[in-house]
């Protein structure tokens, strides 16, 4: 399964990830990506803003991944940089899981990253949405053997 967790690395130094997280939280706040109103605007096709954000982010990610694959060197901490492909299988999990996710995305007006960033912005009730998301994840884990993938 593509979500098999990599276990061959030690925890390693964590502070660089804290810095990357702080950067991520600032960028998504300043870009208004964490706004419920902006998500509604996107799903109603009434502004280019979030399409521009997502499209530009994918373009930069694609260019970076291409360059990093060409470079073919280990990461700064010596870890191998392997980017495994995702297994398609029947594809059921992707459209079914994706659609369920989308229903929740429109309701909360936030995807998982923004849920946490909104708490930092003072929308503390999103802690309840995070708890609910953990409950949803747990339910998936429990039902996993019986779900079509």
Partner 1 sequence: MIELFSQAWPWYVAGPLTGLVVPMLLLVGGRMFGVSENMRHICAAAIPGKIPFFNYDWKTAGGWNLTMIFGAMIGGFIAATWLGNPDPIALSEATKGDLAQLGITNFDGLVPESIFSWTGLTSLKGVLLIVVGGFFIGFGSRYAGGCTSGHAIMGLGNLQLPSLIAVLGFFAGGLLMTHVLFPFIF
Touching partner 1, residues 56-115 (CB under 8 A): 56-62, 64-65, 67-68, 74-77, 79-83, 85-88, 91, 93-113, 115
- Which positions from 17 to 56 touch partner 1 by CB under 8 A, shown as an x/- string? xxxxxxxxxxxxxxxxxxxxxxxxxxxx-xxxxxxxxxxx
Q: Could you give the CA distance from residue 20 to residue 26 in angstroms, rounded to a whole number?
A: 10
Nearest distance, CB of residue 4 and partner 1, angstroms: 9
Of 109, 114, 113, 108, which Cα lies nearest the Cα of 129? 108
Q: Could you give the CA distance from residue 38 to residue 26 in angstroms, rounded to a whole number?
A: 17
Nearest distance, CB of residue 54 and partner 1, angstroms: 6
Nearest distance, CB of residue 19 and partner 1, angstroms: 7
Q: Is 141 in the site for partner 1 (CB under 8 A)?
A: yes
Nearest distance, CB of residue 149 and partner 1, angstroms: 8
What does each C-alpha distance from 143 to 24, 80, 88, 89 come to in angstroms? 32, 34, 20, 19
- Residue 41, judged by CB atoms within 10 A of its CB (0-12, 13-18, 19+), counts as middle
Q: Please, which of residues 119-138 interact with partner 1 by CB under 8 A?
A: 119-126, 128-138
């Amino acid at each position: 399964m593509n979500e098999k967790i990599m276990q061959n690395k030690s925890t390693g130094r964590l502070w660089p990830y804290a810095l990357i997280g702080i950067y991520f939280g600032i960028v998504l706040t300043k870009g208004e990506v964490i706004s419920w109103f902006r998500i509604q605007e996107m799903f109603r096709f009434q502004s280019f803003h979030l399409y521009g954000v997502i499209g530009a982010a994918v373009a930069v990610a694609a260019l970076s991944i291409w360059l990093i694959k060409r470079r073919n060197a280990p990461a700064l901490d010596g870890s191998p940089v392997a980017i495994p492909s995702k297994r398609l299988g029947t594809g059921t999990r992707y459209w079914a899981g994706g659609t369920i996710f989308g229903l929740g995305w429109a309701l909360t007006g936030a995807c998982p990253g923004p849920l946490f960033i909104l708490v930092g912005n003072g929308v503390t009730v999103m802690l309840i949405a995070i708890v609910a998301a953990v409950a949803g994840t747990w339910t998936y884990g429990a039902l996993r053997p019986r779900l079509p993938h």
